[in-house]
Amino acid sequence: MTSDTTIPSQEDYLLDEQVGYVLRLANQRHTTIFQSHDTSGLTATQFSAMLRLAQYGECSQNQLGRYSAMDVATIKGVVDRLRQKGLVCTKPFQNDKRRSLISLTSKGAAMIEGLETAGRKITKETLAPFNASERQKFINLLKKLT
Amino acid sequence: MTSDTTIPSQEDYLLDEQVGYVLRLANQRHTTIFQSHDTSGLTATQFSAMLRLAQYGECSQNQLGRYSAMDVATIKGVVDRLRQKGLVCTKPFQNDKRRSLISLTSKGAAMIEGLETAGRKITKETLAPFNASERQKFINLLKKLT
DNA sequence: CCTAAATCGTTTGTATGCAAATGTTAATAA
DNA sequence: TTATTAACATTTGCATACAAACGATTTAGG
């Protein structure tokens, strides 16, 4: 015989080498770092929605979800909680009875600059294991994956 | 005066450049790919727990959580659902009344090889935007981040 | 004009994910 | 040996995250 009856797999399957698993770990680490900074009581998801509102201005709820990469059900919960905190408000849209326009309140708008400052620190701390070259390489690869 | 009164930030803060945001997007993409493959009705989280059980053999619930990088509350839910599916079982641990031992059922054990095959495809498809060199570089950077 | 398709917001159901608190049991230190 | 500490499993509460279905409204095609 020229070969064994049991053919071994080309390589062991190691969970720790799988991109999905390691992505999950990286996310966990980032979440921990995020929560250790002062982001005015916002979660990372709420943070994203706030910054998108600041970036794009008032828009519909579903549009904000698309800007922020959130499902319609997810963005609804996020907007509800931001409204409870008094950071965003909603007004009906004249030309379309289906939708309403969401925008930052003055309280929410006043918060943006501080959020950006915190965000810079969070990104910096998250990428701390890298040197400058690795940092840029990593972000570029990550964006290529999206 | 040698400088303006308003000092512009060194750089704009762009959400799309922040590691946390892009990590979230990468995770979303991986989840979508995962769910498009046949993993016998398992979620990615359940998949991880199953493979860890196969790798380490029977262990306590909290230990399995540590192996799989899951909180005690999270691993409880995962184990509960795997038990409902008949893929794992629990037996009391003689020497310690606090813990019970979790192990794969024969049905669960029979599933492992297929899960690994699916897992290989999922990782390959997730990393498809990369060439071979980028692939390895990315995984290494990602692991360095953890 | 009118029907079919698309969009908007909402709701329900399932599954993470983590903080915090609880009760039980085991190990350790005084 | 007793008191403290630690580990285990469970539970509650909150916040994503997404699929699927729903009614209302708008748009587009015939």
Q: Which of 1.10.1520.10, 3.40.718.10, 3.40.50.920, 1.10.10.10 is the CATH number of A40-145?
A: 1.10.10.10
Report, in this order, helix, strand and coil percent for chain B, each rounded to 5: 60, 10, 35
What pLDDT is recorded for position A11? 76
Residues B95-105 have pLDDT tens digits of: 899 999 999 99
Topology of the domain covering B19-145: Arc Repressor Mutant, subunit A (1.10.10)
What mean pLDDT comes out for the span B107-130? 97
- Which single residue has its CA nearest the C1' atom of nucleotide C7? A98
Angle at A123 between CA A110 and CA B145, to 5 degrees: 155
What mean pLDDT comes out for the span B61-89? 97
The shortest CB-CB distance from A141 to any of B27, B120, B137 is to B137
Q: Which residue of B has its CA nearest to A46?
A: B21
Higher pLDDT, B95 or A32: A32
Q: Does B107 touch chain A (CB under 8 A)?
A: no
Residues of chain B contacting A21 with CB distance shorter than 8 Å:
48
What pLDDT is recorded for position A45? 98
The shortest CB-CB distance from B139 to any of A22, A142, A144 is to A22
What pLDDT is recorded for position A146? 87
pLDDT confidence band for B6 (50 / 70 / 90): low
Q: Is the CB of A98 under 7 A from strand C?
A: yes
Nearest to B31 by CA among B14, B46, B51: B46
* Measured distance CA(B32)–CA(B22) in Å, rounded: 15
The complex scores an ipTM of: 0.91
Domain ranges of chain A: 40-145
- Rounded, the Å distance between the CA of B89 and C1' of D16 is 30
What pLDDT is recorded for position B2? 47
Asked if A141 lies within 8 A of B141 by C-beta distance, the reply is yes
Residues A41-52 have pLDDT tens digits of: 999 999 999 999
Angle at A32 between CA A31 and CA A35, to 5 degrees: 85
pLDDT confidence band for A3 (50 / 70 / 90): very low
Q: Is the CB of A83 under 7 A from strand C?
A: no
Q: What is the largest CA-CA distance in chain B?
A: 80
Nucleotide nearest to B27 (CA to C1'): D17
Residues A72-123 have pLDDT tens digits of: 999 999 999 999 999 999 999 989 999 999 999 999 999 999 999 999 999 9
| Gap between the terminal Cα atoms of chain B | 47
Specify the DSSP element, H or E, that contains A92. strand A88-92
B134 to B1, B39, B81, B87, B146: CA distances (angstroms):
49, 27, 37, 36, 18
